Every structure is written in C-alpha cells, then in structure tokens.
Structure 1
Amino acid sequence: MTDTAAAHTKANANANANACAGATAAGGQDAEPRARFRDLVAAEWTKWWSLRSSGWALAATALAVVGFNVGMAYDTYRYWSERDTASRADFVRDGIPLSIAFSTDAAMLLMLALSSIGATVIVGEYRTGLIRTTFAAVPARRSVLAAKVCVVAAVTTVFGAVVSVASFGLTQAVLSGRDAGVALDHPGALRLVVASALLAPVSALVGLALGAVLRHSAATMTANVVVLLLLPLIFSADRHWAAVIDHALPAGAWNRLTAVGHQPVAHPWTAGGAWTVYAVWAVAAAVVAVASVQRRDQ
C-alpha cells in the first residue's frame, strides 16, 4: 500500500507540474507584450520616410518658400537705384528687410503646403487601407495616433527651422549688397525667424487633425484652405468682432509676431497672445487627431 500510494503521489505531482507548465506556455502565447510608445514612434518614422513623396514634398516646399523670398530680395537689389534718397534711408528703419525675409505670400504658401503634407500622413493610410493593418497589429489606436502626432511635429519643426533660417540668411545676404540687410540681433528679427519656423508644425498638425476627422483627400484639402487661408481674408481686423476672430487664427498670430514698422493698428494685441494662439492650435489639433480614432472603423 505504501509503495502504491507513493507511486500515485508521484504521478499526481508530475501531472500537476505538466499542467502548470502548459498553462504558463499558453499564457505566454496569449499575453503578448504591449508595444512600447518609442516603438510606435519608430514605426511612424519609418512610414514617413518609406514614401519618396514625403521627402520630395518637403524639398519642393522649401525651395518654393525660400526661392520666393530670395526673389523678392533680388528684385529690391536690382531696382535699388530707382529708389530716392529718403526711401533708401528709411528702408531699414521701416522694417522692410524683415518683411522681405519672410513675406506674407511665402507664409501662405508654407501653411497650405504643410497642412497638405500633414493631412496626407493620415488620409493616405485610410485611402490605402494601411490604417486597418496598423490597428490590427496595435489595438491601442490612440497610442498610434499620438506617435504619428509626435513624428509630424518633430519633422515639420526641424523643417520650419531650416526654411526660416535659410530664408532669413539668404535674403539679408542679397540685401547686404546694397547695405540694406540686417543681422539676427536686429529688433524683431529673431521673433520673425522663430514665428515663421513654428508656423510649419502648427499648419501640419492642423492638417493632420482635419485629415483624421474627415478621412477624405478632397474634403480635407478644402478644409485646410478654408481654415488657414480664407478665414483670415474674410475676417479682417477692421472691426472689433472680426479682429477677435482674426487674432484667434494661426495666420493672424503670425502677422502679429512678424509685424514690422510703426504703422497704427485698429485693434492692437500682444505678442504673448499670439504665441498663445500658436500653442492652443497645436495642442488642440493634436488632441483632436488622437481623440478622433473610433473603436471600430466602418
């Protein structure tokens, strides 16, 4: 009896051990480790640069914006002799070198191009169906969108800085040929460079948010044009209520931060308020993009 009981005890122990091992193995297969956020950022980074169009779009935008500003500077250099003595003397005092360094038309071009690039990042995935594959691999959808926001913000911030610094440096180098250029320590110069650089990520995040909500190329591009370009033209700063709306838009904030000269303004506001508008638009766009991810895509 003793030998028989010992044999049964040993058999039961072996069975329990095998069962525990099997359960551990099954649990290891079912409970896969969650993707780390830095891995999601790396994946989004790879997605961005795996498309040749991404690099070409940024390069073309940079050349267009910088070339536009340098062209204005060259026109000033070329026709400098046609200016009278008083106009030449007041050229720097009136802040004209800064208005040439990054013009309003160049800013509008930058906003439109960067918002389109930001929208393409998400709209392209919905159009091709890649977003479904991504969400199947990573169920944490909001984490995926948060990683996408980080990549878009980082890439476009660096892009904006390069374009803004290059534009300022090249335009002032051209104007210096007529002793009309200014340095970066000139009053208002650094603020213009920073404001123009940050206009890129703000515009790209707005495009990303609109693309995440609308998920259709034509509708998203139309919304980008309306929000970033048409609304600033409709709501001018002539009346108080219109000025409030204008001041709350990214274009209005850029105009305030890059204002030069001493021209009177009907409804003045502070540079701190303009920086706040930049921050609110960037944060709000990021939140909308992340929160727009539905639990199930139809």
Structure 2
Amino acid sequence: MSTTDTDTSAAGPERLLYRPPPAAPARFRQLLAAEWIKIWSLRSTYWALGISALAIIALNANSARVHFADYRDMPPMVRDANAALALRDAFTSGAAMMLILAAASIGAITIVGEYGTGLIRTTFAAVPARRALMAAKVTVVTAVLTVYGAFTAGVSFAATQAVLSGRNADVALSYPGAWRVVVASALLAPVCALAGMGLGAVIRHSATTMVAITGVLLLLPAFITDRYRWTAAVRDALPYNAWTRLVDASYGHNPHVIYPRFYPETVTGSWVAFGAWAVLAGVVAVLVVDRRDV
C-alpha cells in the first residue's frame, strides 16, 4: 500500500510538469500569408492606394488636357518637340512627387503603425525569427507597391495619350523612350515604399518618420546642386532625380537649355540608384530589428 502511494505521489508531479513539445517555427510562406492578411485588413490601405492612384492619374490627365487646349497656339518650334511633351504629360513631376509621398508613407506605416499600437510585441512573441518576419513584410510591401506603380503609370500613359490623340499629338508605347517613362514611373513606387520602410524601422515614430520622408525624398533633391562633382553624385543618387533623368526623353538634345548640367547623370547610373535604394532600404528594415528592441 505504501509503495503504491509513493508511486502515485511521484507520478503526480510528472503529470503536472508535462509540457507539449514546442511548435515548429513558421515557414516563410506562412509569414508571407500573415503579412498579406495584415496589410489588407486595414481600411487605410485601400483608401491610401485608391485615392492616391486616382489623384495621380487625374493630375497627369489634366496636364494632357492643357497640352491639348494649347496645341493650336503653340509655336512651330514647340510643336517639333511634341513627342517630348507627350511623354512629359504621361507622368508629370507633380504626379511623381505625389507618388513618392504616398508610396513612402504606405511603406513606413507598415512598420511604425505596429510600433505605435504595440502590436509588434505580439508579432515578435509569435514569431521570434525577426529577420524572417521583416523579410516577409518587405516582400509583401514590394509586391503590392509594384502592382500599384504599374497600374498608376500604365493608366496614366493610356489616359494622357488618349487625350492627346485628338490633336494627333500622342505617342505610342513603342516610341523610343516611352517604355522607360512607364517602367521608371512604375518602379518609383516600390523604391520609395522601401525607403519609407527603412526610415520607419530606424525612427519608429509616425510623425518624425513622415517628416524625414518629406525631407529626404522631396525637399533634399531641390536643395542639392550639381556644381561640384560630389554634390552632383549625391543629387543624382536621390530617387526623384534619378526618375527625372529616366523619363526625360529629350535629355542632352535640347539646344535651348540655358543652364546645362556641370556633371550630367546617365541612364545607367539612374537605374543603379533605383536598385541601390531598394536593396539598402530593404536590408536596413530587415537587420535593424535585431539591433533595437521594442
């Protein structure tokens, strides 16, 4: 009897201390699915993407409308440069600035939004592999903003050329430089979204991040000159200035330029700037979570 009691008392604590085996770590595709659900579960995502896309397309279409209305009064010299004007209407500088601000803000809010609400603590508790989690977030944001940029640039090109076709002032997508305008404008969205994510991962405060986005991506390109080689290199490496070079079909062929560039940028260098911003910003967003805690 005593032996039985001893065995039972010994087995009891073992049953009480029993713990189920730890769950297997989440696979990367599961992290992608979770981030996909997370980004589309917010109504702000739909509103931000939809309203900004409509505003950008409307801004470009309005530029084409003005071109259409003034076409008959244009001097012959301006009409000779009609193709360059049509490509400029396809995606204007004002539309590019709006795209930069919208895409960078959406990218930043995917990170600073979680830090602001404290949801990031739950996320890291559920997925201790922080780098894998952030890599999934970067992948999802890049995919969504690439589609967003392609839609906005493609519809803008189609809408503006449809308006200009009434004056036979439109250009086809096969026209030299037209594809570059569309592709560069489309890729500007994911590049700036990743830049916003990188700044958000470092700053982790909504208002400060938005100020930094405005300063780095919109204000800085206007203040840096190209008088010196090093300032020209910094200026040309910024996303907005790289985009400006890629969409300028008449670059270097306009004899009426009053102030020529001291150190002209190249198409190849502008594509490299796009790629460098995307890669470096993505790497920062992935790695900084291991260096700083919540």
More displaced stretch, 72-81 vs 61-70: 72-81
Amino acid at match of 2:226: A
Amino acid at match of 1:68: L
In structure 1, what is the equivalent of residue 4 of structure 2?
none
| 1:254 matched to 2:250 | no
- 1-side partners of 2:64 and 2:242: how far apart? 24
Long gaps (5+) in structure 2? 1-6, 255-259
In structure 1, what is the equivalent of residue 267 of structure 2?
271
Deviation at residue 295 of structure 1 after TM alignment:
6.5
Deviation at residue 205 of structure 1 after TM alignment:
0.4
Is the CA contact 2:111–2:197 (under 8 Å) kept in the aligned structure 1? Answer: yes
In structure 1, what is the equivalent of residue 208 of structure 2?
219
Amino acid at match of 1:99: R
Deviation at residue 296 of structure 1 after TM alignment:
6.8
Is the CA contact 2:131–2:290 (under 8 Å) kept in the aligned structure 1? Answer: no
- 2-side partners of 1:246 and 1:157: how far apart? 24
Deviation at residue 266 of structure 1 after TM alignment:
2.8
| 1:32 matched to 2:23 | yes
Deviation at residue 86 of structure 1 after TM alignment:
3.9
1:238-253, aligned counterparts within 5 Å? 238-253=227-242
- 1-side partners of 2:62 and 2:186: how far apart? 19
Deviation at residue 87 of structure 1 after TM alignment:
2.8
Long gaps (5+) in structure 1? 1-14
| 1:291 matched to 2:287 | yes
SS of 1:30's partner is coil
- 2-side partners of 1:259 and 1:139: how far apart? 46
Query: Structure 2 vs 1, CA of residues 139 and 295 (structure 1 numbering), >3 Å: closer, same or farther?
Result: farther
Amino acid at match of 1:62: A
| 1:62 matched to 2:79 | no
In structure 2, what is the equivalent of residue 83 of structure 1?
74
- 2-side partners of 1:274 and 1:85: how far apart? 32
Q: Report the TM-score when normalising by structure 2.
A: 0.89
- Which of 195, 203, 223 is 1:234 aligned to? 223
- 2-side partners of 1:39 and 1:283: how far apart? 23
**Alignment root-mean-square deviation, CA:** 2.0
- Which of 264, 272, 277 is 1:281 aligned to? 277
Q: How far does the alpha carbon of each residue in 1:95-137 deviate from its partner, in whole angstroms, 9 at most, with x for none? A: 1111111111111111011101111111111111111111111
- 2-side partners of 1:173 and 1:230: how far apart? 33
Amino acid at match of 2:53: A
Q: Report the TM-score when normalising by structure 1.
A: 0.87
Q: Which has the larger radius of gyration?
A: 1
In structure 1, what is the equivalent of residue 180 of structure 2?
191
Query: Structure 2 vs 1, CA of residues 238 and 187 (structure 1 numbering), >3 Å: closer, same or farther?
Result: farther
In structure 1, what is the equivalent of residue 44 of structure 2?
53
In structure 2, what is the equivalent of residue 97 of structure 1?
86
- Which of 148, 151, 157 is 1:159 aligned to? 148
Is the CA contact 1:96–1:260 (under 8 Å) kept in the aligned structure 2? Answer: no
- 2-side partners of 1:76 and 1:272: how far apart? 30
Q: How far does the alpha carbon of each residue in 1:175-208 deviate from its partner, in whole angstroms, 9 at most, with x for none? A: 1110000001111100110000000000000001
SS of 2:113's partner is helix
Q: How far does the alpha carbon of each residue in 1:241-294 deviate from its partner, in whole angstroms, 9 at most, with x for none? A: 321111111112111111121135432232111111111110100100011113
Is the CA contact 2:202–2:288 (under 8 Å) kept in the aligned structure 1? Answer: yes
- 1-side partners of 2:227 and 2:171: how far apart? 31
Deviation at residue 148 of structure 1 after TM alignment:
0.3
In structure 1, what is the equivalent of residue 118 of structure 2?
129
Query: Structure 2 vs 1, CA of residues 134 and 103 (structure 1 numbering), >3 Å: closer, same or farther?
Result: same
Deviation at residue 166 of structure 1 after TM alignment:
0.5
Q: How far does the alpha carbon of each residue in 1:61-85 deviate from its partner, in whole angstroms, 9 at most, with x for none? A: 1011111000000111122222234
- 1-side partners of 2:98 and 2:227: how far apart? 24
Amino acid at match of 2:143: A
More displaced stretch, 65-74 vs 260-269: 260-269
In structure 2, what is the equivalent of residue 10 of structure 1?
none
Is the CA contact 2:235–2:241 (under 8 Å) kept in the aligned structure 1? Answer: yes
In structure 1, what is the equivalent of residue 257 of structure 2?
none
- 2-side partners of 1:197 and 1:84: how far apart? 33
